[in-house]
Amino acid sequence: MTAFPDIIPAIRAAAPALRGRLIANQLLSDLTWFRVGGPAQVLFTPADEEDLAHLLDVLDPDLPVTVIGLGSNLIVRDGGIPGVTIRLGGKAFGSVEIDGETLRAGTAVPDMRLAKTAAEASLDGLAFLRGIPGSIGGALRMNAGAHGGETTDVLVEARGIDRSGTLRVFTHAKMGFTYRHSEAPEDVIFTSALFRGRPGDRREIEAEMDRVTAAREAAQPIRERTGGSTFKNPPGGKAWQLVDAAGCRGLTLGGAQVSEMHCNFLINRADASASDIEALGEEVRRRVRETSGVELHWEIRRIGVPASTGG
């Protein structure tokens, strides 16, 4: 791996009061489900929300900033991510507080933990999060959903910091949720969110979560190095059916493969590069376009730069 120039001394000079952790050239393949991707030029783990706002306030406005969650919906390209990549840690952003029927969660909280905490408090409506292996931050950005539930169904408001370091609060309406998408400005880094459950029976909610888990075990390659559903379902259709009809089930490119088990999942079968996985996805899109005329759109976020241009 070639490295990006170390810009940490310049960041420290601009922000001497910074309390969070800065790491130069942190390999991101360790932090993504696909286990691929080059380094972050700088990986920043803020000490708390104020620390995050401080960095964004003083950082050179031309320096790109990227936020990642648990990396379960990401292809980080092989050249890595220039600028500052931010990952919120569980210490400062990992708490869940319950007040009556509402839950306030830090955005580093795994979706599965929020589902479990809601069930323990006999709050219904969040069981769908049990099967989604991302964080609350990713769920807000992606309007994550499954088994008939979506983030939009339970969110009251989200709080975050924008690129200029300003605190922003987004009501449900301002989040502009549509299928696997939020209209909230892309520069906003969500820090916490308020959810509303409804009173339910703990045992029934836990039974529902068990059904969600069993359905996933049976239908998805959840123990593979993958990024979940690769393409969004087109209106009125299922992406996996189009991929299957195009003859792509099991298709390989380098170390990447279309899952035999669920053909809207790509997997890193054997030391794939990010470029193998992305090229395989593009090949699938081409074949689907050819056989059915449908243009599939990526659900997985692809970020960073190709190997020849990066770190």
Ligand X SMILES: Cc1cc2nc3c(=O)[nH]c(=O)nc-3n(C[C@H](O)[C@H](O)[C@H](O)COP(=O)(O)OP(=O)(O)OC[C@H]3O[C@@H](n4cnc5c(N)ncnc54)[C@H](O)[C@@H]3O)c2cc1C
Name the site residues for ligand X (rule: CB under 6 A).
Answer: 33, 67-74, 88, 107, 131-135, 137-139, 141-142, 144-146, 189-190, 220, 222, 226-228, 301
6 or 186: CB nearest ligand X? 186
Backbone angles phi, psi at 63, to 5 degrees: -80, 125
Closest approach of Cβ 240 to ligand X, in Å?
Answer: 13
Tokens of 138: 């990713």
Cβ closer to ligand X: 92 or 132? 132
261 HSE (CA, 13 A, CB side): 16
Closest separation in Å from C-beta 64 to ligand X: 12
Q: Nearer to ligand X by C-beta: 5 or 149?
A: 149
DSSP, res 239: H
Rounded CA-CA distance 228/33 in Å is 9
Quick one: how far is CA 171 from the chain centroid?
21
Active site residue 180: yes
Please identify, using beta-carbon distances, which residue of 222 and 245 lies nearer to ligand X.
222
Q: By Cβ distance, which residue is nearest to ligand X?
A: 138
Other C-beta atoms within 10 Å of 189: how many?
22
Buried b (16+ CB within 10 A) or exposed e, 45-68: bbebbebbbbbbeebeeeeebbbb
Q: What angle do CA 124, 231, 306 make, to 5 degrees?
A: 120
Torsion of CA 115, 116, 120, 121, to 10 degrees: -30
Query: In the complex, what is the shortest distance from the CB of residue 191 to ligand X, in angstroms, rounded to a whole number?
Result: 7
Q: 234 and 37 in contact (C-beta within 8 Å)? A: no
Count Cα atoms within 13 angstroms, Cβ side, for 282: 7
Catalytic position from the list 182, 192, 229, 259: 229
Distance CA 101, CA 108 (A): 21
Is 301 one of the catalytic residues?
no
Q: Could you tell me the smallest distance in angstroms from the CB atom of residue 108 to ligand X? A: 8
By C-beta, is 137 or 281 nearer to ligand X?
Answer: 137
Cβ 302 to ligand X shortest distance, Å: 10
Q: How far apart are CA 185 and CA 296, in angstroms?
A: 24
**Smallest distance from the beta carbon of 293 to ligand X, in angstroms?**
26
Out of 77, 141, 180, 287, the active site residue is: 180
Residue with Cβ nearer ligand X (94 or 202) = 94
Which residues are tagged catalytic? Answer: 180, 229, 299
